Amino acid sequence: MVTKQLSGDAGAADDADLTRADSLAREIFSDVANKWALLIIETIGDGTLRFTELRNGIEGISHKMLTQNLRMLERNGLLERTVHPTVPPRVEYTLTEAGQGLRATVDGMCDWTQRFLGHIEGARRRFDAPVNG
Amino acid sequence: MVTKQLSGDAGAADDADLTRADSLAREIFSDVANKWALLIIETIGDGTLRFTELRNGIEGISHKMLTQNLRMLERNGLLERTVHPTVPPRVEYTLTEAGQGLRATVDGMCDWTQRFLGHIEGARRRFDAPVNG
């Protein structure tokens, strides 16, 4: 639900207003609503994964994109990074409660993608076809 | 749910595998999992909106981003573009059934953003603080 503030009421209420370019909600949404962040959350799931496991689990993600998004997700409190004092140190990632909350909605998006695969494929074919094909 | 194909089974099954860089599911996910597309879907909701109404409803979206994303969403069969033969022609957008399906998950993501606003704000503050602050 997108909330729209009608009054000139500043502060906390505006923070939650996704329609505003400068709200905290929009800032968070801009961070997490990107394919790599969502695929990372989905891939960690209930598990505890290392960088290389994530890298191998998400075909096509670059080292840079994975690093940037892990840092962004940690900064937003969606995942926890644990460094085990081994030699070399072992670094693992798990979802926090907030991360699990987002995961539930990403699950829904993945299910949706798979449910409407055929519909979308057909729509694309029609859209891309020459007008008098 | 991310499905991972274990066998060498090509074709339809692979299409639904989000972990693969070249699957149809990943292609669709890459298209729709971006903040502008999701905000457009959320803003149209149950309504029928014109370009300018969308532009005004989503603060900060540029003309170019709105045009590109509307075209992409139409191509994927998530919204329907109707041109009314008035002078000048009136162009309106509504969600299709597939679009409404995605909207349900975007609703969840918006709710999540608002629910965890305080948690995320605190996590950011701690992350950004100087180590010995």
For residue range A33-48, list pLDDT tens digits in order. Answer: 999 999 999 999 999 9
Round the average pLDDT of chain B to a whole number and report it.
Answer: 90
Chosen CATH of A12-128 out of 1.10.10.10, 1.20.210.10, 1.20.1250.30, 3.50.50.60: 1.10.10.10
CATH hierarchy code of domain B35-128: 1.10.10.10
Cβ neighbours of A19 in B, within 8 Å: 39, 43, 57-59
What is the per-residue pLDDT across B2-54, written as a single tens digit (0 to 9) for each?
A: 555 444 445 566 888 888 999 999 999 999 999 999 999 999 999 999 999 99
Query: Rounded to an integer, what distance in angstroms lies between the CA atom of residue A35 and that of residue B51?
Result: 25
Closest residue, chain B, to A18 (C-alpha): B110
A–B: how many Cβ contacts below 8 A? 173
Tokens of A125: 């074919």
Tokens of B31: 């298209």
Query: Rounded to an integer, what distance in angstroms lies between the CA atom of residue A27 and that of residue A46?
Result: 26
The distance of B78 to chain A (nearest Cα, Å) reads: 8
- Among A114, A121, A125, A126, the strongest candidate for a mutation testing the B interface, having the largest count of B CBs within 10 A, is A114
Record the pTM.
0.87
Residue A16 pLDDT: 85
Cβ neighbours of B60 in A, within 8 Å: 21, 26
Per the CB < 8 A criterion, the answer to whether A34 and B32 are in contact is no
Per the CB < 8 A criterion, the answer to whether B66 and A77 are in contact is no
Length of chain A: 133
Average pLDDT over residues A91-108: 96
Query: Rounded to an integer, what distance in angstroms lies between the CA atom of residue B107 and that of residue A49?
Result: 29
What ranges do the domains of chain A cover? 12-128
Model confidence at A7: pLDDT above 70: no
Model confidence at B67: pLDDT above 50: yes
ipTM for the predicted complex comes to 0.85
Cβ neighbours of A102 in B, within 8 Å: 109, 112, 116
Round the average pLDDT of chain A to a whole number and report it.
Answer: 90
Percentage of chain A with pLDDT > 70?
A: 89
User: In terms of pLDDT, which residue wins out, B14 or B112?
Assistant: B112
Q: Confidence band (pLDDT; 50, 70, 90) for A2? A: low
By Cβ distance, the residue of B21, B25, B109 closest to A60 is B21
Residue A70 pLDDT: 98
- Confirm or reject contact between B48 and chain A (CB < 8 A): no
- Confirm or reject contact between A2 and chain B (CB < 8 A): yes
Cβ neighbours of A122 in B, within 8 Å: 77
Q: Confidence band (pLDDT; 50, 70, 90) for A3? A: low
Which residues 54-93 in chain B show a CB within 8 A of chain A?
57-60, 74-78
- Among A109, A126, A128, the strongest candidate for a mutation testing the B interface, having the largest count of B CBs within 10 A, is A109
- Rg for chain B, CA atoms, rounded: 19
Residue A130 pLDDT: 83
Q: Confidence band (pLDDT; 50, 70, 90) for A12? A: low
Residue B11 pLDDT: 58
Q: What residues are paired with B94 via a beta bridge?
A: B80
Residue B92, classed as helix, strand or coil, is strand
By Cβ distance, the residue of A29, A114, A123 closest to B75 is A123
